[in-house]
Amino acid sequence: MNLPKPITGNCMFCGAGLHHTFVDLGMSPPCESYRSLKQLNEVEPFYPLHVYVCEECFLVQLQEYISPENIFSDYAYFSSYSDSWLQHAKKYVDLVVERFQLNQESQVIEIASNDGYLLQYFVGKDIPALGIEPAVNVAEVAIKKGIPTVVKFFGQETAKEQVAKGKQADLLLGNNVLAHTPYLNDFVKGMKIILKPHGVITMEFPHLMRLIEENQFDTIYHEHFSYFSFLTVEKIFAAHGLTIFDVEELTTHGGSLRIYARHSEDSSKAISHQVSELKYREETAGFTKLEYYFSFGEQVKETKRKLLDFLIKVKREGKSIVGYGAPGKGNTLLNYCGIRTDFLEYTVDRNPYKQGQFLPGTHIPIFHPDKIAETKPDYVLILPWNLKNEIMAQIAYIRDWGGQFVVPIPEVNVYS
């Protein structure tokens, strides 16, 4: 697929020049580029994690240092390995089926449908579902589950192809995909094309307000090109003939927004008070002033110092520390802070695709979770901190030998 190239050095939405740094996390490898044993002695590419804020539309964004084709064509993230994420997906399906009266006559389309983690619940209700997923290895898992999946990147071209085949959405959804495209305008135009006249779009993405207030700098990595406030995402949708009529604040991924959008010409769905209330809160917080964005960089540096202080103290006491999880956010944290096997002996992950590999950049080995019971570490550093309650319940047995949990974000906290 020939994707349009974004203009380097300019805002991917409005085209204004990018001159203002939001945060600079130095150089880092792509967060899902796990290394095999053989690759440990090979050259490993590192790219800037330098995030800018646009002075015109206030879109917080990374430049396209790596193309989406290089990130997503063979992908190591499978949504179904998180129990809490599956529960979230099932709850969402029950909610929208009832709210929008979806049935066997409806068409649901999910952009970035991953391994069918969500569409399986629509299929279970006999509601026609179609996934659009660029990663071949992940899409194959969904297809084996009986979920029709188109293996392509989404944009205007893919949308037109599906419309030509008679596929248009009563419900078009995308969870954690809007931030994953540098071709933002093309992506939103594609949503406008594939949506039925009275259809509904729902999108979920991490909320920039939560990222700033809770110091979630590790959610910045190369596959996340944009970081959205509600004010900015509303502006982007409006520019392409889509109106956001409702919004929910979610706890997923450290604090996300779920937006509900419709065609601007569809007057059948009134704009809720939640929309005006959230806009007011963002404006009051300072999201329309550049100065608001400038304090984040120093806040991040202080978090790095505190985490390293803790790790140095623990290692000097002769204690052992291991990790739990091998998520993208963990790789940003470890590479930015310079944490390697001198601090973290290994990490574990439930995803067999990652076991036996090594984390990008830091080369920390990844094992099956059973490794923790074998080695009985003093501390377990939870890298996917957004799943800390689920993980602490899964491996509560570390308390049997006095083991403790460490959560690094928003700052270091130790749980017995």
Question: What confidence tens digit (pLDDT) does each residue in 153-183 have?
Answer: 999 999 999 999 999 999 999 998 999 888 9
Distance CA(241)–CA(215), nearest Å, equals 33
Average pLDDT over residues 287-311: 95
Domain membership of residue 329 (yes or no) is yes
Average pLDDT over residues 194-220: 95
Question: Are 353 and 259 found together in one domain?
Answer: no
Residue 71 has pLDDT above 80, yes or no: no
Residue 401 has pLDDT above 60, yes or no: yes
Q: Please, what sign has the CA dihedral across residues 101, 103, 109, 114?
A: positive
**Of 145, 9, 25, the residue nearest 80 (C-alpha):** 145
- Residue 77 — very low, low, confident or very high, per pLDDT cuts 50/70/90? low
Distance CA(141)–CA(94), nearest Å, equals 23
At which of 259, 293, 327 does a domain end? 293
Residue 66 has pLDDT above 90, yes or no: no
Domain membership of residue 76 (yes or no) is yes
Which residues have C-beta within 8 Å of that of residue 316, sequence separation ≥ 6? none
At which of 293, 326, 345 does a domain end? 293
pLDDT at 69 (0 to 100): 56
Residue 81 has pLDDT above 70, yes or no: no
Taking only the tens place, the pLDDT of each residue in 91-126 is 999 999 999 999 999 999 999 999 899 999 999 999
Residue 347 has pLDDT above 90, yes or no: yes
Question: Are 282 and 335 found together in one domain?
Answer: no
Question: Are 283 and 329 found together in one domain?
Answer: no
Residue 389 has pLDDT above 90, yes or no: yes
Tokens of residue 311, six digits: 């790790």
Residue 68 has pLDDT above 70, yes or no: no
pLDDT at 7 (0 to 100): 43
Beta bridge partners of residue 207, listed in sequence order: 228
Residue 85 has pLDDT above 60, yes or no: yes
Domain membership of residue 298 (yes or no) is no
Domain membership of residue 200 (yes or no) is yes
Question: Are 143 and 267 found together in one domain?
Answer: yes
Domain membership of residue 20 (yes or no) is no
Q: Of all residues in the chain, what percent carry a pLDDT higher than 70? A: 94
3-state helix, strand, coil in the chain (%, to 5): 40, 20, 40
Question: Are 231 and 372 found together in one domain?
Answer: no
Question: Are 206 and 275 found together in one domain?
Answer: yes
Domain membership of residue 209 (yes or no) is yes
Question: Are 264 and 171 found together in one domain?
Answer: yes
Residue 40 has pLDDT above 70, yes or no: yes
Question: Are 196 and 288 found together in one domain?
Answer: yes
Question: How far is residue 303 from each of residues 74, 130, 214, 339, measured CA to CA in Å?
Answer: 33, 42, 11, 13
Residue 247 has pLDDT above 50, yes or no: yes
Residue 142 has pLDDT above 50, yes or no: yes
Q: What is the rounded average pLDDT for all residues in the chain?
A: 92
- Residue 135 — very low, low, confident or very high, per pLDDT cuts 50/70/90? confident
CATH number at residue 371: 3.40.50.720
pLDDT at 83 (0 to 100): 77
Average pLDDT over residues 409-413: 93
In total, how many domains does the chain have? 2
At which of 227, 260, 293 does a domain end? 293
CATH number at residue 147: 3.40.50.150
Cis peptide before 134, with omega less than 30 degrees from 0? Answer: no
Question: Are 191 and 282 found together in one domain?
Answer: yes
Question: Are 277 and 406 found together in one domain?
Answer: no
Lowest mean pLDDT among 63-72, 355-364, 390-399, 402-411: 63-72
Domain membership of residue 61 (yes or no) is no
Question: Are 281 and 383 found together in one domain?
Answer: no
Taking only the tens place, the pLDDT of each residue in 9-28 is 899 999 999 999 999 999 99
* Mode of pairing for the β-strands spanning 404-407 and 379-382: parallel
Residue 308 has pLDDT above 60, yes or no: yes
Question: Are 224 and 271 found together in one domain?
Answer: yes
**Residue 140, domain extent:** 71-293
Residue 233 has pLDDT above 60, yes or no: yes
Residue 32 has pLDDT above 50, yes or no: yes
pLDDT at 6 (0 to 100): 43
**Of 258, 259, 262, the residue nearest 240 (C-alpha):** 262
Domain membership of residue 53 (yes or no) is no
pLDDT at 63 (0 to 100): 85
